[in-house]
Structure 1
């Protein structure tokens, strides 16, 4: 796989781009681009990777990603089944920081948005539980004039700064793209783990995927994700376990084995380490 510097199509007479995704699934490769990205997910579920964060995405997640932040929204496997009726929809703004110019530096009324854009180098998210006046504006974005679209963009950025539930996603800040070979290795590693998380994966196995020695791979992974291999693998397994706890009728022990854990006690321990609660408590909260 090649390094994934994604080229966002531009419009000659616009300083930003509005995009509506309405398809069978989202773009499925880890990528980055020099534009900021503000995205409202209207429909679609799956695994979200932003920098070193692995989590679920769901309808009415609002994401703000800074320039060159590696990210991907990997849809669940049922989106790719023959005759699947699942589909995705999202509304996005793509814009460069230069579009905003010195106005954010010189205007005290807008400094809070300037600070938000700095925070976006980690990726930020707000999880709405359903439609809001803000999300309804985004759903009608194509009906607006470019000036009105720009006002909506600024209004959303302002709302994010005022929302206590706004969360930082990645522990690592991204400002400049890494070497292309690093992106290729990261994508290969993520794809392998996300495909084979239910199986036994050894350090030698994953080091071979990255074409590195085990020692070099551990150093590489720590540098780019601030995680060990076991931490990364556990986060992926627990993320899938969370989905099964909410969406399936399987028992906790069945889910543990389906997600690659050989015994229930280890699953309980790892699950609590990642989520801060036991699987049974998570299930009660989800219900």
Structure 2
């Protein structure tokens, strides 16, 4: 399989970060990856499509997404956007700008957790975006010197306090379940990731972690904010979307290979979670890619 376009950014090892501001009439850059972390702000582009890993969503008039995974494919396409006054600010920084030793400090725990979650790509609530929007514009106009770095730290920290931030790509894109701070949750997720193609019952996983079904179900929902069934379906859909993107395997074959018991159930769950059918997802993703 060909690889997706990998961007080489102008950020040098001597720079703390780079910031770009542009006004444009359309989105033309293809789905891509890059080594650097990226905070991307978009204004006046309601109806455009955001693609991050296996997540495809239509955005509103304010958009802010954080990507820190160097292998996570992402991009924006015109879709239903008719605006000719799109504003975009992109900040790119090295992952070690906030090194592990610094992030272990108690005062930065929310920032550490946000960066862990951003391995899947994060989108932020409208309230959080409105809070820091003018600071992003100000940062662009004062991008030189150490004060600009401290301003960026302040923006990232305030975003880390957004209780409504949301992960985009599914867990299959980056198998990092330690963000839930629970060995039982980690063990349950690893079991589902390893056995998603087989029939899995709640009793199987509950027994694995030494809990009753009722207790585990409540514990799982409290720690992950998702039900066991939703999480299992999310994992299976994650593998399904990768196969839709990276292979020519038929939808029916993908359905059964990913643990769904019939094609109608697969189509129903897929459309409910992704907003389109598996066939439409494949077509939407393929048309936005460029291959080397």
Report if the CA contact (8 A) 1:32-1:71 is conserved: yes
Which residue pairs with 2:77 in the alignment? 74
Which residue pairs with 2:132 in the alignment? 134
Residue 30 in 1 paired to residue 31 in 2? yes
Stretches of structure 1 lacking an aligned partner (at least 5 in a row): 80-84, 177-205, 239-287
Q: 2:118 and 2:160 mapped to 1: Cα distance? A: 11
Matches within 5 A, 1:131-280: 132-144=130-142, 145-172=144-171, 174-175=173-174, 210-214=247-251, 217-218=254-255, 228=266, 231-232=269-270, 235-237=274-276
Pair 1:210–1:16, CA change in 2 (3 A): same
Residue 56 in 1 paired to residue 54 in 2? no
Matches within 5 A, 1:42-53: 42-45=43-46, 46-53=48-55
**How big is the shift at 1:143?**
1.6
Which residue pairs with 1:198 in the alignment? none
Q: 1:92 and 1:24 mapped to 2: Cα distance? A: 16
Pair 1:33–1:209, CA change in 2 (3 A): closer
Residue 93 in 1 paired to residue 86 in 2? no
Report if the CA contact (8 A) 1:60-1:129 is conserved: no
**How big is the shift at 1:127?**
2.8
Aligned residues: 201
Pair 1:167–1:78, CA change in 2 (3 A): closer
Report if the CA contact (8 A) 1:60-1:130 is conserved: no
Q: Deviations over 1:15-60 (max 9, x none)?
A: 2221223222234422222221112212213111222222221222
| TM-score normalised by L of structure 2 | 0.57
Q: 1:174 and 1:213 mapped to 2: Cα distance? A: 21
Report if the CA contact (8 A) 2:27-2:78 is conserved: yes
CA root-mean-square deviation: 3.5
Q: Deviations over 1:212-265 (max 9, x none)?
A: 35565557888xxxx956655663449xxxxxxxxxxxxxxxxxxxxxxxxxxx
Stretches of structure 2 lacking an aligned partner (at least 5 in a row): 176-242, 260-264, 278-292
Q: 2:245 and 2:36 mapped to 1: Cα distance? A: 33
| TM-score normalised by L of structure 1 | 0.58
Q: 2:108 and 2:174 mapped to 1: Cα distance? A: 22
Report if the CA contact (8 A) 1:42-1:60 is conserved: yes
